Amino acid sequence: MGTTSGDDPAVDPGPPQMTSSARAPVGPDRPTAPTRPPAQVRALGVAVEAWGRSAGGATRRDDLPWRSTRDAWAVLVSETLAQQTQLSRVVPAYHRFLASFPTASSCAAAPLGDVLRAWEGMGYNRRARNLHLAATALVERHDGQVPDDLAALLDLPGVGPYTARAVLAFAFERDVGVVDTNAGRVLARGVAGQPVRPAEAQGLVDTMVPPGQGWSFGQALLDLGATVCTIRAPDCRACPLRRRCRWALAGRPDPDPARGSAGVSVTQSRFAGSDRQGRGRLVTALRAGPVSPDAIAVAAGWADDPARAERVLRTLEAEGLVVRHSDGTARLP
């Protein structure tokens, strides 16, 4: 994704006006900040949504294939694939997965092993298992259809608050806000000027949604965080909120309010040499076929530590990602 220019004053609501009411602090040493009146929060949302359309397309990233559909299953698949994964890897996987499983019913009818094979290259294989479980639940509870209901979505395996609201906004065009790591940075820096709790972040973003524009606003907010309000080098001059961003107006002081704020992801532990790497290697080997007991350590990349390989394999088995035969041979379900 590339940064874009946001110097059009028509999409900027102007300088901030503060009120004296205060919110509860996020931490014991975090001072409270004055809240914005709801009208100001809504004005920020209007500016974000207008910025999203100002490049001439429906969104700043019309090239993302899931933005051209309102099929709720496809949206759910895209959101599950995109969790903790670079979009450059998600796009081909999205096409490949939907070619194999175009509906929830087709996914539910397939063995989990087939779903794991279609998930190849994406990592975090529990996501594939959860998507398979969600598809099964959709068939059992909703005739294979993704429901247009927050509580019903949250009741699906592996579906959390962000994914549920993303399906509502991006498949059903409901006026609900979405808070992922990109949106969380914008909310903490630009709207609140300090870290916010999950309920506070959700309240802010829901207030920001312009009526009837839940889809376009949500896409714009995610794009703003991904391309402008980035982690290490935010391009404040290109931001449609630049005149009202509390963090920018304060001179971008440390600590960055996005750190520790709701929705903002934390740095992953080192992958190389980790159990996660061994898990991935094992599942990759199992995609090609069963693995005998004497080959498990080599498949995990720990030929000199078979006890570790066995321990990791047992966690995969406990999670339902691996089946063991009586002779110890492992295979996908």
Phi/psi of residue 14, each to 5°?
100, 180
- Active-site annotation holder among 79, 200, 310, 317: 79
Nearest partner of 217 among 232, 233, 204, 236, judged by Cα: 204
In the residue annotation, 79 being an active-site residue is answered as yes
With vertex at residue 207, the alpha carbon angle to CA 204 and CA 210, rounded to the nearest 5 degrees, is: 135
User: Over its length of 333 residues, how does the chain's per-residue pLDDT go in tens digits?
Assistant: 333 323 222 333 333 333 323 333 334 344 444 578 899 999 999 999 999 999 877 888 889 999 999 999 999 999 999 988 888 899 999 999 999 999 999 999 999 999 999 999 888 899 999 999 999 999 999 999 999 999 999 999 999 999 999 999 999 999 999 999 999 999 999 999 999 999 999 999 999 999 999 999 999 999 999 999 999 999 999 999 999 999 999 999 999 999 988 767 555 567 677 888 999 999 999 999 999 999 999 999 999 999 999 999 999 999 999 999 999 999 999
Cα–chain center distance at 192: 21
Whole-number Å distance between alpha carbons of 172 and 199: 23
Q: Confirm if 225 and 219 have CB atoms less than 8 A apart.
A: no
Q: How many CB atoms lie within 10 A of CB 119?
A: 24
**HSE-up (13 A, CA, CB side) for residue 228:** 26
305: left (phi over 0), alpha (psi -120 to 50) or beta: beta
